[in-house]
Amino acid sequence: MSVPSGVVVVGASAAGLATAEALRRKGYRGEVSVVGAEPHLPYDRPPLSKQVLSGAWDPKRARLRTEETLAALRAEFVLGDPAVALDAGSRTVRTASGRVLGGDAVVVATGLRPRTLPGQDGLSGVHVLRTLDDALALRGELKESVRVVVVGEGVLGAEIAATARGLGAEVTMAGPQPAPLAAQLGPMVAELLADLHAERGVALRLGAGVTGLTGQDGRVTGVRLGTGEVLPADVVVVAIGAEPATGWLAGSGLRVADGVVCDSRCRAADGVYAAGDVARWEHATLGSLRLENRTNAVEQALAVADNILGAERHYTPVPYFWTDQFDAKIHVFGLPSATAEVSVVEGDPAGRRFVALYREDGRATGVLGWNMPKQARLHRQELVAAVTPAV
Amino acid sequence: MKVTVDEDKCCGAGQCVLLAPDVFDQREDDGIVVLLDAAPPEELHAAVREAAAVCPAAAIDVDENA
Ligand SMILES: Cc1cc2nc3c(=O)[nH]c(=O)nc-3n(C[C@H](O)[C@H](O)[C@H](O)COP(=O)(O)OP(=O)(O)OC[C@H]3O[C@@H](n4cnc5c(N)ncnc54)[C@H](O)[C@@H]3O)c2cc1C
Ligand code: SF4
């Protein structure tokens, strides 16, 4: 394909912004429009469950760029006006207000939307956490001795529980796994996380599914477990995962199967690409993947920008995410799993400073650092050979 | 080019070190970024721009006009 004369990016967050910036850095001079559902200028999500929720940061600090930097990009930002349809064949995007944007390349970077519990929408006091507005609404309710039940024992649930506890709330974490992040990181690390949360005063009600909510006069009063028990709550946070925001792609001609399905170059159709949490692509060595993490949003956007400009680049990253819970800073490279064999290669779990290596069938598949970021990054090298395709 | 880092934002990912090891390092104890060269030579500019883009905490600022 020749260099496009116009690029339309849908989604004005980490991946969308990174695509527009990368195009300019690589010298692209055509038109760039960035369409965003939210009214806000691009901001960062990881601080929402950490510094923004705790109040340590003014929300403005989570902005990804200053207005001046954005102006220098020479991109048209269409904000507060979600895309409602795409025609992949003609590469035309239509927005809720009726605007029609066409380009010879379109990038889908619409991220995720949180899952909810049945009956959640009609009740006040029930929150999800995906956007800045979500974070501010939840923060407004987190006060000392408020009873908070966090439904979900994944990364997001565990971070919210830790931050809410730090604000003095009485926090209970509920979910079907035996310990926080057990499915993702395996029993050894999950048990350490459970110990950490329990020590800091988070009540763990794990190992039982949540079936619904109880309420009175339109306000939530509790969370009902599969066992029939009700956990009383003033505030409930539902963090049970999220789904790719692909509803607007119905009838687009793109294939959607838990994400926008792309080839190894992040291409969903001729001239149509996807990047970030919404994108499912063929990783040359790891197979079909969709990653929900901050680094992937940018790295994938860089690959997409290269490919829009004709590079034919296969996208083969070493996955990476981090999470902060109380004083634990955990960095994870590769794809650890609950079934992998785990060995400590540096430090000591008892001292809460260590690096663990995950192996499956004798091959290194993941590296996890607990309060040892630099050392974990050095061990990442052990994954590179396994992940990088042979040329 | 003038590079600045915000230690308070940095999450210790080390992505910057992977891309531009002559410009960035990490502290041994907590992994926070250490800026080795605030005015890197021209041949490193492309790598530094990419590091600033990839930094998952948006903690690296590059002033092109300095
Ligand atoms: C609270 C929280 C904490 C996190 N913490 C970490 C962490 O510690 N470490 C880590 O690695 N990752 C973390 N993540 C994940 C990380 O933030 C995401 O991976 C990253 O934001 C993905 O970027 P994205 O641009 O693909 O999607 P998003 O950031 O979700 O952006 C998508 C954008 O598209 C917009 N959009 C949706 N539909 C439409 C439409 N139809 N038209 C126009 N615009 C649309 C949305 O409003 C949104 O602004 C966290 C996420 C959350 C929510
Ligand atoms: S990439 Fe960013 S967050 Fe990571 S060590 Fe460097 S400055 Fe810190």
Question: Domain containing A42 — which CATH number?
Answer: 3.50.50.60
Under 8 Å between Cβ of A243 and A83: no
Probe site for chain B from A21, A377, A379, A381 (most B CB atoms < 10 A):
A377
Chain B touched by A212 (CB under 8 Å): no
The answer on pLDDT for A145 being more than 90 is: no
Question: What's the confidence (pLDDT) of residue A389?
Answer: 77
Q: H/E element holding B1?
A: none
How far, in Å, CA of A219 to CA of A281, rounded? Answer: 42
The string of DSSP codes covering A54-74 is: HTSS-GGGGBSS-HHHHHHTT
User: Among all ligands shown, which has an atom nearest to the Cα of B54?
Assistant: 2
Q: Cβ contacts (< 8 Å) between A324 and chain B: which residues? A: 11
Residues A155 and A207 in one domain: yes
Residues A122 and A109 in one domain: no
Interchain CB distance below 8 Å, A374 and B15: no
Residue nearest to atom 38 of ligand 1 (CA): A110
Residue A317 lies in a domain: no
How far, in Å, CA of A16 to CA of A301, rounded? Answer: 7
Residues A222 and A156 in one domain: yes
User: Among all ligands shown, which has an atom nearest to the Cα of A241?
Assistant: 1
Residues A38 and A100 in one domain: yes
Interchain CB distance below 8 Å, A294 and B53: no
Q: Is the dihedral of CA A43, A48, A53, A55 positive or negative?
A: negative
Residues A55 and A142 in one domain: no
The answer on pLDDT for A367 being more than 80 is: yes
Residue nearest to atom 8 of ligand 2 (CA): B10
Number of domains within chain A: 3
Residue A262 lies in a domain: yes
Which residues are CB-neighbours of A295 under 8 A, at least 6 positions away? A317, A320, A321, B13, B15, B54, B56
* Interval B24-50 mean pLDDT: 97
Q: How far is A272 from chain B (nearest CA, A)?
A: 23
Q: How far is B58 from chain A (nearest CA, A)?
A: 7
In percent, the amount of chain B with pLDDT more than 90 equals 94
Interchain CB distance below 8 Å, B11 and A329: yes
> What is the pTM assigned to this prediction?
0.97
pLDDT in tens, A166-221: 999 999 999 999 999 999 999 999 999 999 999 999 999 999 999 999 999 999 99
In percent, the amount of chain A with pLDDT more than 70 equals 99
Residues A139 and A185 in one domain: yes
Residue A322 lies in a domain: no
Residues A122 and A200 in one domain: yes
Q: H/E element holding A91?
A: none
How far, in Å, CA of A252 to CA of A249, rounded? Answer: 5
A14 lines ligand 1 (CB under 6 A): yes
* Interval A17-27 mean pLDDT: 97
Å from CA of A128 to ligand 1 middle:
13
How far, in Å, CA of A100 to CA of A316, rounded? Answer: 34
In this predicted complex, what is the ipTM?
Answer: 0.94
Residue A195 lies in a domain: yes
Indicate which atom in ligand 1 lies nearest the CA of residue A135: 1
Domain boundary (A205, A240, A275) is at A240
The domain that holds A367 is classified in CATH as 3.30.390.30
Q: Residue A331: closest CA among chain B residues belongs to which residue?
A: B13
Residue nearest to atom 4 of ligand 2 (CA): B13
Question: What's the confidence (pLDDT) of residue A2?
Answer: 66
The answer on pLDDT for A127 being more than 80 is: yes
Interchain CB distance below 8 Å, B17 and A377: yes
The answer on pLDDT for A391 being more than 70 is: no
Residue A80 lies in a domain: yes
> Minimal CA–CA distance to A110: which of A15, A250, A6?
A15
A355 lines ligand 1 (CB under 6 A): no
Domain boundary (A258, A274, A308) is at A308
The answer on pLDDT for B10 being more than 70 is: yes
* Interval A131-144 mean pLDDT: 95
Q: Cβ contacts (< 8 Å) between A64 and chain B: which residues? A: 58
Residues A23 and A128 in one domain: no
Residue A316 lies in a domain: no
The answer on pLDDT for A62 being more than 70 is: yes
Residues A129 and A156 in one domain: yes
How far, in Å, CA of A195 to CA of A200, rounded? Answer: 9
Residues A129 and A29 in one domain: no
Under 8 Å between Cβ of A333 and A29: no
Residues A217 and A258 in one domain: no
Pocket perturbation via mutation, ligand 2, pick of B3, B4, B15 by most ligand atoms within 8 A of CB: B15
HEC assignment per residue over A6-37: EEEEECCCHHHHHHHHHHHHCCCCCEEEEEEC
pLDDT in tens, A65-97: 999 999 999 999 999 999 999 999 999 999 999
The domain of A290 spans 6-113+243-308
Residue A296 DSSP label: H
Under 8 Å between Cβ of A260 and A161: no
Å from CA of A179 to ligand 1 middle:
25
Q: What is the mean pLDDT of chain A?
A: 96
Residue A1 lies in a domain: no
Residue nearest to atom 16 of ligand 1 (CA): A294
Residue A319 lies in a domain: no
Chain B touched by A153 (CB under 8 Å): no
The answer on pLDDT for A3 being more than 80 is: no
Domain boundary (A211, A240, A269) is at A240
User: Among all ligands shown, which has an atom nearest to the Cα of B13?
Assistant: 2
Which CATH code for domain B2-63? 3.30.70.20
Rg for chain A, CA atoms, rounded: 22
In this structure, how many other beta carbons lie within 10 angstroms of the beta carbon of residue A71? 11
The answer on pLDDT for A343 being more than 60 is: yes
Q: Structural domain boundaries of chain B?
A: 2-63
Residues A137 and A186 in one domain: yes
Which residues are CB-neighbours of A316 under 8 A, at least 6 positions away? A264, A283, A284, A285, A286, A387, A388, A389
